[in-house]
Amino acid sequence: MTEKDFIPHNYTINIESGSFTWQSPSNIALVKYWGKKENQIPENPSISFTLNTCKTTTTLSFSKKENNDEFSFGIYLDDEKKDDFKPKIETFFKRIENYLPFLKDYHFTIETSNSFPHSSGIASSASGMSALALCLMSIEKQLIESNVSLSAVEGLFDNDYFNKKASFLARLGSGSACRSIEGDLIVWGNHKNIEGSSDLFGIKYPYKVHENFKNYQDTILLVDKGEKQVSSTVGHNLMHNHPFAQERFKQANNNLIKLTDVFKTGDLKAFTEIVESEALSLHAMMMTSLPYYILMKPNTLEIINKIWAFRKETNSNVCFTLDAGANVHILYPEQEAEQVMKFIQNELVAHCQNGHYICDRIGYGSEQML
Ligand code: PMV
């Protein structure tokens, strides 16, 4: 598929107003996306677990407006007007206008809330942008289905197209958001060994996944709830002219091949090695950018060292990953949940800000609520 496949034919619309609500989860990358080309095209493919508990609920209400020469919208987080979110949404609308030509015909009200606290250091961009993209897709679906006889749209607006275009749009809001439409394991970025993979949208991992990964657990330790000092946008840009960029992109491609093997065999030791190496490579890119920076905190390292010591002592399969921040995602198989939770409570919670952590696990993707 190419970008052109997401440009709709003219709608001969007449829908005055309406509203849709979607709930969309966050995701955690196992092989990381870090570095992008123009138009949010990733430099390397990535793969993630879709989460279950950390999610955003968004209601998008729309009503026809008189003039259609500019975007018009209001945005609310937990019923509070959030004008500081407007530039991000405006940029998003500009990027997707070509693919959703109705955007300037309506005034939109975006009401959003997160299942996790706003100041938790958990990025809401993946769940937030995917939830908004899904609401917009519901409008487009309605515009098409109410005007064309159903037989003519059959195949065009099937679930597969709907999800692909939602992922395509979400990507233009925030790259990793394209991995939040479906679950439970999502690949984004073209990889020659993964059939159907694309730089334009996320797809469900198409091969067999071993029982060991069923209901995998992710306990997110909130080490630092503050705003990051360096945004992901700046971080991605620092991969241009980065001395290790090409090697890093190669490494990610190789790690994805290795993971396909791990998913087949269920080898949890190999899983740990790939996932932890990916997390540390991501942060190594930050430390070797110019300007260089560090997002990990002393407690991030304390936690990592304790995980390594615990694994040595117990032969547990607990491992960690990091996103672009100080918080630590603790990943482990469901069968080890009791033992790992005890370890977290006894040894790791002390390193969390105010003792806070979130128990999450692998999830199955977004859901339409209304
Ligand atoms: O989607 P962005 O632009 O916020 O970038 C996210 C990048 C990482 O979370 C660090 C890695 C990933 O693949 O999710």
Is the confidence at residue 101, as pLDDT, over 60?
A: yes
**pLDDT confidence tier of residue 118, bands split at 50, 70 and 90:** confident
pLDDT over 50 at 268, yes or no: yes
| Residue 277 binned pLDDT confidence (cut-offs 50, 70, 90) | very high
Residue 151 has a pLDDT of 47
Q: Which of 176, 188, 201, 282 to mutate to test the pocket of ligand 1 (most atoms within 8 A of CB)?
A: 176
How many residues does the structure list for the chain?
370
Are the C-beta atoms of residues 359 and 124 closer than 8 Å to each other? no
To test ligand 1's pocket by mutation, which of 33, 278, 296 has the most ligand atoms within 8 angstroms of CB?
Answer: 33
Residues 65, 68, 71, 73: what is their CA dihedral angle, to the nearest 10 degrees? 0
Determine contact, residues 352/299, Cβ cutoff 8 Å: yes
Question: Does 33 sit in the ligand 1 pocket, CB within 6 Å?
Answer: yes
Q: For residue 90, name the pLDDT band (cuts at 50, 70, 90).
A: very high
Whole-angstrom distance, CA of residue 359 vs CA of residue 37? 34
Strands (E), the chain: 17-31, 36-37, 41-42, 46-64, 72-77, 80-81, 106-114, 185-188, 202-204, 217-221, 319-321, 328-332, 357-361, 367-368
Determine contact, residues 157/335, Cβ cutoff 8 Å.
Answer: no
Evaluate: CB of 122 within 6 angstroms of ligand 1.
Answer: no
Q: Which atom of ligand 1 is nearest to the CA of 31?
A: 13
Q: Tell me if 63 sits within 8 A of 269, measured CB to CB.
A: no
> Over the range 49-65, which residues count as b (16 or more CB within 10 Å of their CB) and which as e?
bbbbebbbbbbbbbeee
Rg, C-alpha atoms of the chain: 21
| Cα separations in angstroms, 5 against 103, 171, 200 | 18, 15, 11
The pLDDT score that the predictor gives to residue 87 is 96
CB of 174 within 6 A of ligand 1: the answer is yes
Is residue 105 within 6 Å of ligand 1 at its C-beta? no
Q: Cα separation of 156 and 143, whole Å?
A: 13
| Choice among 49-63, 120-134, 258-272, 345-359 with the minimum mean pLDDT | 120-134
- Both tokens of residue 231? 């945004």
**What separation in angstroms does the CA of 22 have from each of 136, 182, 216?**
10, 13, 24
DSSP conformation class of 365: B
Q: How far apart are CA 290 and CA 302, in angstroms?
A: 26
The rounded Å distance from CA 152 to ligand 1 centre is: 38
Which atom of ligand 1 lies closest to the CA of 174? 1
Average pLDDT, integer, range 167-178: 98
Judge if the beta carbon of residue 125 lies within 6 A of ligand 1: yes
Between the CA of residue 209 and those of 237, 252, 259, 264, 265, what are the distances in Å? Answer: 34, 20, 10, 6, 8
Point out the ligand 1 atom lying closest to the alpha carbon of residue 177: 1
- Say whether pTM exceeds 0.85: yes
State in Å: Cα 366 to ligand 1 middle: 19
Q: Using a 6 Å cutoff on CB, does residue 169 contact ligand 1? A: no
Q: What is the mean pLDDT of the chain?
A: 95
pLDDT digits (tens, 9 = 90+) for 204-242: 999 999 999 999 999 999 999 877 789 999 999 999 999
Residue (of 34, 71, 54, 36) closest to 126 by Cα position: 54
Quickly tell me which residue has 């607006």 as its tokens: 157
pLDDT at 146: 66
The percent of the chain in helix, strand and coil, each rounded to the nearest 5, is 40, 25, 35
Q: What is the pLDDT of residue 228?
A: 79
Q: Is the CB of 32 under 6 A from ligand 1?
A: yes
Is ligand 1 within 6 A of the CB of residue 170?
A: no
With contact defined as beta carbons under 8 Å apart, do 129 and 22 qualify? Answer: no
Say if ligand 1 is within 6 A of residue 175 CB: yes
**Ligand 1 center to residue 60 CA distance, Å?**
25
Measured CA to CA in angstroms, residue 352 lies from 87, 297, 300, 310 at distances of 32, 11, 9, 18
Q: How far is the CA of 324 from the centre of ligand 1 (A)?
A: 7
